[in-house]
Structure 1
């Protein structure tokens, strides 16, 4: 979507219909929230929606680096909602405890320690 006033007017009055304006449509509604907020707040931190910020942080979670999770936990706390922050805490706790994700050991041909084997028997021990 272009940022010019003419492009906005074209979107509202030519690309969209009045029915779309007042009908619940998740795809259309998302496009409106995403595009308009990004363009209204262009070049400011508000340009990225909470969902976009959260999405940008997701690559941190699979890391087996303690240093990455030390940084990630602060970013998740600052930029995401409570649920995402909670899941980053769970990931970080596993890395802090084992230095790796024990549930990956089999696929990576890594031997599991006795502590990891006990951990993997616990509910919700992997993602």
Structure 2
């Protein structure tokens, strides 16, 4: 129901923001954050179970890096700043994961920091998120299969 509501209300807008590279959405903290939520969060709702859910992650990460570089995260309340940081957490990249942990340490949100550390540990172990393998058509290694069989695996 939530995915359908997001699709109805924001699907076309999200696709337009992605297609434009978020042109016109980068000039202030609120606009940039809105673009990140549309791209990073709503993309996962709109394309659940499909590799398309992750297709715009590079753009979301670019926007998040830009927002941090411009100090936009410091202009947002912590509850909103953490959404600016989510593309770092979603990145299959060790450097982005390290930055994510650093950002959440500075934010002081213990729950989000724990979640960031969990994501970093998966990337450190596998170099990718095995929970995405099926959606992305990737074959899981035996170690990834063992990980995925755990009840607490993936997100």
CA separation in 1, counterparts of 2:92 and 2:83? 19
The TM-score, its normalising length taken from structure 2, stands at 0.51
Gaps of 5+ in 2: 1-70
Q: Of 82, 95, 106, which residue of structure 1 is paired with 2:134?
A: 106
**How far off is 1:47 after superposition?**
3.9
Superposed CA deviations along residues 72-120 of structure 1, whole A, max 9, x for unmatched, are 1111111141000010011000000000000111111111100000000
The TM-score, its normalising length taken from structure 1, stands at 0.61
C-alpha change, 1:58 and 1:46, in structure 2 (3 Å) is closer
CA separation in 2, counterparts of 1:123 and 1:45? 34
Contact 1:69-1:92 at 8 Å conserved across structures = yes
**How far off is 1:48 after superposition?**
2.2
CA separation in 2, counterparts of 1:45 and 1:59? 13
Between structures 1 and 2, the one with greater helix share:
2
The correspondence of residues 31-50 of structure 1 with structure 2, limited to 5 A, is: 47-50=75-78
CA separation in 2, counterparts of 1:66 and 1:60? 10
Aligned residue pair count: 85
* Aligned position for 1:123: 151
* Aligned position for 2:115: 87
C-alpha change, 1:106 and 1:45, in structure 2 (3 Å) is closer
Give the 3-state SS of the residue equivalent to 2:135 in structure 1.
Answer: coil
Gaps of 5+ in 1: 1-42
**How far off is 1:44 after superposition?**
9.9
CA separation in 2, counterparts of 1:109 and 1:78? 36
CA separation in 2, counterparts of 1:94 and 1:45? 25
Contact 1:102-1:120 at 8 Å conserved across structures = yes
